[in-house]
Structure 1
Amino acid sequence: MCFILGILKLFIVCFKVQIFHHKKSSKVLIILGIYLCISNVSVYADTAIFSGLKKSLEEKTRTFQMENGLNVLMMKREDSPTIAVYTKFLVGSADETPEIAGTAHLLEHMLFKGTKNIGTTNYEKEKPYLEQIAVWGKRLDTLRLKELEMKEKGEEPSDEFKNQIETLKKRFYSLLELHRKFVISNEDNYIYSKNGGVGFNAYTSNDVTNYQILLPANRLEIWAKLESDRLKNPILREYYTERDVVLEERRMRVENRGLGILREKYLDAAFPEGHPYRMPVIGYEKNLGFLDLEKTKTFFKNYYDPQRMVIAVVGSLDFDKTEKILRNYFGDLKKGSLQPLKKTTQAGFNGSKFVSVVHPSTPSKIIGFHKPAFPHPDDAVFSIIDTLLAEGESGRLYKKLILEKQVAQGVYCWNGDPGDRFSNLFSIYITNNQNADQKKVENLVQEELDKLKTELITSEELFRIKNQILGGYLRALDDNGKLADVLSLYQLLYGDWRELLRGYEELDTVTPEDVQRVAKKYFVPENRTIAELNPPAKGAGN
């Protein structure tokens, strides 16, 4: 179930940013396309065109806040009789501690398990089974954790203790099997499908948790009924089974993939102890199998608060009717004691860091530098550098590492790694060729970064990059879902979706001198973290 280069950071986590498009603005888009192809004046700099786009966006967008703090964003697009509905919560792995790491992601899975009304043949008959499962599950976790602690101390559990665990485990799994007769799997998805819904899905990131669907425009009330029920009456059924699923997901994504381990070690090295961005979204293998059901319920109550929530509806809609439906179903959500946002004392450079991982995978390297997050003006400069270095075959690192020196098979940059609620990283990810020398790859990357310090990029190159970024927006215009995704994100993180537009404007102010200044300031050894992955030496372990 998983912004822009720079502002488009969310491309990396499957988001895409685009500008609003409707039939009446198609002429403007044609003009923009012509500008991209033949003009030698930046599209960004054409105030009349950009102002027209801004005005169109603002005319077709309306926001309101309910008394409980829930924010709603509506954008009218009449291209088809459909809507995209994206619901975001300001909760992700950044809100966790090491002991509960992975809870936000597990909770995302659990909220697809239904409610008192959905996903069950008879909740009143099911309830005693759920209560007993919770009791025995907690007891079994306690015994398993004690066994693990004994083994870590070098102590061997007694046969009596082992038998106690096995006996309880058999009883517990028998109870889980009995409980299954009450479960109607994916009933909500079935209801959506019968009503023309597609793309029912969710994802969790370091910063947010998102739920999404595309629907016929006249099915909004069905969505509102199902989703408000999900928030008011969630039942975390099949908790222990799903916890095992997530644990296996971690093994596939991290333990069995060298890049997964490398990235986790990289972020651990880059950020100091206690920093929110040290928490992996998937959680840690050691604690995932012991995440407590009651603590997960408490996490839901604390963070799935309407004050930390944005609903975005984009498509063929009537503002007044949409607002009435949403107020009717979500207006009575109870707001809680708002959880304080985590703060970070990370002020900047953290000293040079290096970490090495041995894993039977393709050799890889990550080179990263601390930087401020959007809306700091330097973030826009990093967006330019991102595209300059690694966007397509024209990227400087692509040409140097892959085409010229043939030491790598892949390279990409991530401006805003791993999120945007706190200061973050500009990261360069390289997949080496099998026999490439790691130090040589590192030196080649550093050479390109040093060029940015000593040689100004040309105005023509900067012009091309800005229009290349804008071209990415224009190619993704006709998608309600992508619009709902990014608009809800900006509304949630920055309190106003218009910050997205301000980000576009910020990009056009970037000069060659800005690129040089930022390179000199941030691309320095004392601000650098390097993580490299190498396969085991031949014969190792034999």
Structure 2
Amino acid sequence: MRKSGWLVITGLLLTVICVSGVSAQSLEGKVIEHRLENGLTFLLYERHQAPIVACHIYVNVGSANDRLGETGIAHITEHIAFKGTPTIGTTNYEAEKQLLDKLDELWQQIDQERQKGDKADQQKLEQLQREFEQTQQNAAQYVVSEAYSKIMEENGAVGLNASTSRDETQYFVSLPANRLELWMMLEADRLAHTVPREFYKEREVILEERRMRTDAAPVGTLIEQFLATAFIAHPYGFPGIGWASDIENLTIHQLMEFFEAYYAPQNMVIAIVGDIDPDNVIRMAEKYFGVLPARSSDPRIRTVEPQQPGERRVQVEWDANPYLVIGYHRPSVNHEDDLVFDVISFLLSSGRTSQLYKHLVEEQQIAIHVQTIVAFPGKKYPTLFMVIGVPLAPHTIEELEAALFAELEKLKTESVDEQELQKVINNVEAGFINSLSSNSGLAAQLTFAQSVYGDWRSIEKQVEQIKQITAEDIMRVARTYFTKQNRTVAWLVNKNVE
């Protein structure tokens, strides 16, 4: 499945429901929570403005759950989820299944021979590879390409897609209200009977994706090296797409093992928002999803990144323009300081009136681009507050770095004007209100809150918390986290410039 970018707002700040007359305080009486006996949670919200519904599945597992040697497994699992089942995506599953089993056997033989290194029988390898390719072609004749997607789109679905981040895997779509039962039937079927067809073909697709976005991309390579430097223990340091050597050696057995371990009902939350009759939706949920077997699943990552003992630096040389990335370790979104980082990020880099843009782009003209990212690469676990900059020639990356450090130091000693702070809070509030104006936006936030905060009701609590942030909080957080010892700096430098 080809993926579009998917941004889930990091701290739920002011996720206020005030669209079409629904106020923040009325959410408690509007959301219906229903948990099946197998542990799968449904969150339902009625909106009858149009005969459409948004469906959002949040699987509480992401690429941070990949194991060393199997990096990329969460990502490829998401891709394979669109390949169908024994009844969807094939013209003859019985015949196809025999070929899929043979493919897996051939790959294991190829892998075993390759493991011999210099002693590998090259003639045998070539023969196995030819047989593998022929079997793959034979299996392809039974494949109905994009069958799941075509069924949904033929029934009026829009925005059908998925995404895998470090923290979660999400599947989402909007469709006519009278097609909701079709969606439920198809989703429950693929959760219960996913078939890893075209696995080896998809593995090559992901390898090519990695080559384009990372290996052949200077900034992609820089970010990968930056994260590997910033995290020495926690899997946030792994590339989300996976290391190339891991991807090319992933197996169907590993994928199905991952799927069974993490795609368990109690590890998923489904939100359905729109023109619905909740009682009818619950009936359908019980009918289609209630048959999924309960399985033990524990997606928690117990590895804790140790406190950084000093500044870390990494440099990537490329025939490209310079690029600067600075990261400071910060707590997860469940920490009391989380919302303060959102306000700091808005102050520093949101729009042309932000501090970094005014001071470094307009006044000093030392940069052509400055940006902050409030939580990267994840948010469920302690993560990074990032600052990115691109110097404007003839200014150097050293000059831009010094200027950015100076701006961060100001946060520690200069109190933010109360009027400016209130304006930031108002703007953040407006942005979050807008993020919930659509059915899909609300569905995404409900599943996020339930999965990460443990309760969708935490959405409303963010409203009051953000209003309590003071200028003193901003200075305190800046002093605590924006220190030399706590930072990692990455430079992209032009290898042809001395």
Greater displacement, 82-91 / 332-341: 332-341
Matched residue, 1:163: 123
Distance 1:494 1:142 in 2: 45
- 1:522 paired to 2:471: no
Can you list the C-alpha shifts for 1:168-222, whole angstroms capped at 9, x where unaligned?
Answer: 1111111111111100011111111121111111000000000111111111110
- 1:112 paired to 2:82: yes
What's the TM-score, normalizing by structure 1? 0.87
The aligned amino acid for 1:19 is V
Q: Is the 8 A contact 2:13 2:339 kept in 1?
A: no
* 1:69 alignment partner, SS class: coil
The aligned amino acid for 1:189 is S
Q: Is the 8 A contact 1:375 1:503 kept in 2?
A: no
Matched residue, 1:29: none
Aligned pairs for 1:107-186 within 5 A: 107-146=77-116, 150=117, 157=118, 161-186=121-146
Distance 2:286 2:25 in 1: 27
- 1:10 paired to 2:15: no
Aligned pairs for 1:449-528 within 5 A: 449-528=408-487
Matched residue, 2:249: 290
Q: Residues 16, 87 of structure 1: CA spacing in aligned structure 2 closer, same or farther, 3 A cutoff?
A: farther
Q: Residues 12, 242 of structure 1: CA spacing in aligned structure 2 closer, same or farther, 3 A cutoff?
A: farther
Distance 2:476 2:147 in 1: 56
Can you list the C-alpha shifts for 1:302-322, whole angstroms capped at 9, x where unaligned?
Answer: 010111100010111111111
Match of 2:27 among 40, 50, 57: 57
Greater displacement, 133-142 / 209-218: 133-142
Can you list the C-alpha shifts for 1:494-542, whole angstroms capped at 9, x where unaligned?
Answer: 2111222222321111101111111111111111111111121259xxx
- 1:82 paired to 2:79: no
Q: Is the 8 A contact 2:14 2:433 kept in 1?
A: no
Q: Residues 242, 371 of structure 1: CA spacing in aligned structure 2 closer, same or farther, 3 A cutoff?
A: same
Match of 2:375 among 412, 416, 421: 416
Q: Is the 8 A contact 2:32 2:44 kept in 1?
A: yes
- 1:20 paired to 2:33: no
- 1:72 paired to 2:32: no
Can you list the C-alpha shifts for 1:90-131, whole angstroms capped at 9, x where unaligned?
Answer: 111111122110000011001111101100001112111111
Distance 1:382 1:173 in 2: 52
- 1:360 paired to 2:319: yes
Q: Residues 360, 145 of structure 1: CA spacing in aligned structure 2 closer, same or farther, 3 A cutoff?
A: farther
- 1:244 paired to 2:214: no
Q: Residues 17, 209 of structure 1: CA spacing in aligned structure 2 closer, same or farther, 3 A cutoff?
A: farther
* 2:228 alignment partner, SS class: helix
Matched residue, 1:39: none
Q: Which runs of 5+ in 2 are unaligned?
A: none
Can you list the C-alpha shifts for 1:433-475, whole angstroms capped at 9, x where unaligned?
Answer: 3543111111100111111111101101100110111121233
Aligned pairs for 1:315-330 within 5 A: 315-330=274-289
Q: Residues 123, 95 of structure 1: CA spacing in aligned structure 2 closer, same or farther, 3 A cutoff?
A: same
Matched residue, 1:331: 290
- 1:201 paired to 2:198: no
* 2:121 alignment partner, SS class: helix
Q: Residues 364, 538 of structure 1: CA spacing in aligned structure 2 closer, same or farther, 3 A cutoff?
A: closer
Q: Is the 8 A contact 2:17 2:433 kept in 1?
A: no
Distance 2:451 2:322 in 1: 38
* 1:439 alignment partner, SS class: helix
TM-superposed deviation, 1:340: 5.3
Greater displacement, 213-222 / 414-423: 414-423
- 1:376 paired to 2:373: no
TM-superposed deviation, 1:478: 2.8
The aligned amino acid for 1:277 is Y
Count of aligned pairs: 495
The percentage of counterpart residues that share the same residue type is 37
Distance 1:318 1:468 in 2: 35
Can you list the C-alpha shifts for 1:57-103, whole angstroms capped at 9, x where unaligned?
Answer: 22221112111111111111112110000101111111112211000
What's the TM-score, normalizing by structure 2? 0.95
Greater displacement, 331-340 / 521-530: 331-340
- 1:268 paired to 2:228: yes
TM-superposed deviation, 1:338: 1.9
Greater displacement, 472-481 / 236-245: 472-481
Distance 2:188 2:448 in 1: 20
